[in-house]
Structure 1
Amino acid sequence: MPQEKIKRIFRYVDVPELPELYSRLDAAIVDSNSTTASISAIIAEDTALAKCLVKLANCTLFRFSSRIETIDSAIDNIGARQIGDLALSVLILRMFDGMDPDIVSMQSYWRHSFACGITARILAAHRGEPNIERFFLAGLLHDIGGLLFYVHIPEQALMAILRARDGNGPLHHQEREIVGFDHALLGKVILQSWHLPEALQEAVEHHHTPELASTYAVEAATLHVADIIINAMQYGSRGEFIVSPVHPEAWERLGLPVSILQPTMEQIDYQFNSIVKVFFGEYCGGIV
């Protein structure tokens, strides 16, 4: 990405820093000498986070045969990397707790983001991907650039929404014309500044343009399809007024039959209420 464009972005937007606890947690997860106990000890420093992760381990996402009672058990059953991704999801949600931009309902924004994460996770499971929680995280974060648009450049963000509503083309096209970059590129820059994996960065950057993704084409395609499914099902919104067609190349990259769409939508409905109750419960900020 040209340095001048990055500088332009940071003239508009202040990117918040991730909590220090996550940096230590991530370092412990990638350290081959770490144990379940050492990873669990870092999470346990944040009692609310630990309780939330245990509740997530018992929700409809996982369906374990016996109840998970401790973080140690959650790590052993779900996996350390996967628990790290879920922890990051909770911590990011908290970072934006209390934010109340005039342009968009935060409830609608998070409904859309969570539903997209659930959908991306289900599609990844159909494909047999090894870490489907990373796809959930990608879905949760896919529109984070749009959220910072609303906070830092609200006038331009509103202008883009109004132009899209009046039939001038998709919202991300209007953002590029008005601001010079869209929420997807801003999202990539945010994830880059947080030192999150390149797979997440590329998927978020190209969730509207999956044909341009190269190294992580499947991740971008999954996010693209998930976003369109959720727009069609009307699970919240960040200001889109049209449901774009699925890019044929993206669907081809997934390698999934059309027959999975109906059971996928049924799973979305089944899982959504359960996971949102956990994330938006007493332990996770109470945004909704």
Structure 2
Amino acid sequence: MSIKKYVKFATKSFALPNVCVRLRELLDCPRSSAEDIGNLISIDPSLTAKVLRLANSSLFRFPSQIESVSKAINVIGGEALYNLVISETASTAFKCFDSELIDLKQHWHASVYSGMLAKHLAMSTNAKVIERFFVMGILQNLSELVVAKRSPELYQQYLDSDKSLLPYQRQKQLFGFTFAHCSGIILESWNLPIGLFYPITHVNDVARQSSDREIGVLALSNRIAVRQLDKENHSDIELFTSEIANTVSLDMEMVSNATDYAERETVKIAALIR
């Protein structure tokens, strides 16, 4: 099946909640205020509670309590708030594509772990809007659920394929595309910002890893996640390929710090969103 058919299946099966669309419109409108945005989020008490819990979590580590959405906007910024809303929406999307072939709890944990790695590495490189990297880490394997749901027999072949190859290599070999590439196109079709879908779409493109720092950071976090989550097959994976090293000026101590952070915080953050 072509990548276009999986994207079509995903977009027909799940649409972004209206609050995501309206929030994006308000953030892009120069006349909107923090009060306007706060009023929009506050319509949904459950979303409000989750956003405030996340704003007060270890994702931000602010010294004082954030007690309202408007304060969250003033303290963390509108884009960070948008990324929190998209993160919360992601858990709903994951459940929409639940499959018997995938342990959803384990998949969610791995996705949040990748997001925490990406966020910490991005922070170490002084990237802008670092929460965006957390969202990218979560969403990049969304299409794995889509593929498993739409083509269970083919996905089973993927599970049984040669695990000495890296996951993206196995995906490319069997499907003709990587899960990240498919996820990026799905996110683009949902009209998410280019700063979210572009790095995901091209994360396995070695040429772009060598020229685009954001893609390099995301690619590095993926390799770390593979090493940490599949030690049986990939404990010796090369982290700093020549392409990644060309754009990401980090060292193994920073990688160790990111790993420690992700392992310490993932369970707490995953529980807050779900």
Cα distance change on mapping 1:175 and 1:256 into 2, 3 Å: closer
Cα 1:179–1:233 change in 2 (3 A) is closer
2:250 aligned partner, one-letter code: L
Deviation at 1:173, TM superposition (A): 3.0
**Are 2:144 and 1:143 equivalent residues in the alignment?**
no
Deviations 1:176-209 (A, max 9, x none): 3333323122112101101122232231123333
Alignment partner of 1:229 is 2:224: yes
Give the corresponding residue for 1:131.
129
* Structure-1-length-normalised TM-score: 0.85
Query: For the Cα contact (< 8 Å) 2:55–2:66, is it kept in 1?
Result: yes
Q: Deviations along 1:51-81, whole A, 9 cap, x unmatched?
A: 0010011111211111111111111111111
Q: Is the 8 A contact 2:143 2:179 kept in 1?
A: yes
- Which residues of structure 1 form unaligned runs of 5+? 281-288
Instruction: Quote the sequence identity (%).
Output: 24
Change (3 A) 1:20 1:177: same
**Higher share of residues assigned helix:** 2
Deviations 1:206-238 (A, max 9, x none): 3333434588x222111111112122222xx7x
Paired residues of 2:209 and 2:244 also in contact (CA < 8 A): no
CA contact (8 A) 2:7 2:182 kept: no
Distance 2:84 2:209 in 1: 25
1:59-78 matches, cutoff 5 A? 59-78=57-76
> Does the 8 A contact of 2:118 with 2:221 survive in 1?
yes
Contact (CA 8 Å) 1:207, 1:220: kept in 2 or not?
A: yes
Query: What is the match of residue 257 of structure 1?
Result: 251
Gaps of 5+ in 2: none
Structure 1 residues 99 and 148: alpha-carbon distance in aligned structure 2, compared to 1, 3 A threshold: closer
Q: How does 1:121-270 map to 2 (within 5 A)?
A: 121-165=119-163, 167=164, 169-212=165-208, 217-234=212-229, 241-242=233-234, 244-246=237-239, 247-270=241-264
The CA distance in 2 between the partners of 1:175 and 1:129, in whole Å, is 29
> Take 1:96 and 1:249, find their aligned partners in 2: how far apart are those partners?
31
Task: Give yes or no for contact 1:120–1:226 (8 Å, CA) kept in 2.
Answer: yes
Partner of residue 271, structure 2: 277
Higher mean alpha-carbon deviation, 253-262 vs 111-120, is at: 253-262
CA apart distance, 1:164: 2.8
The aligned amino acid for 2:153 is: E
Partner of 2:18: 20
Quote the Cα distance in structure 1 between the aligned partners of 2:140 and 2:225.
12
Cα distance 1:120–1:44, how it changes in 2: closer, same or farther (>3 A)? same
C-alpha RMSD over aligned residues: 2.3
TM-score (norm 2): 0.89
Asked whether the equivalents of residues 94 and 142 of structure 2 are also in contact (C-alpha less than 8 Å), the reply is: no
* Paired residue type of 1:225: L
> Residue by residue, what CA displacement relative to the aligned partner does 1:90-135 show, whole Å, maximum 9, x if unpaired?
0121233364312121111111110111111111111111200111
- Of stretches 170-179 and 82-91 in structure 1, the one that deviates more from structure 2 is 170-179
Matches within 5 A, 1:70-109: 70-97=68-95, 99-109=97-107
Number of corresponding residues = 269
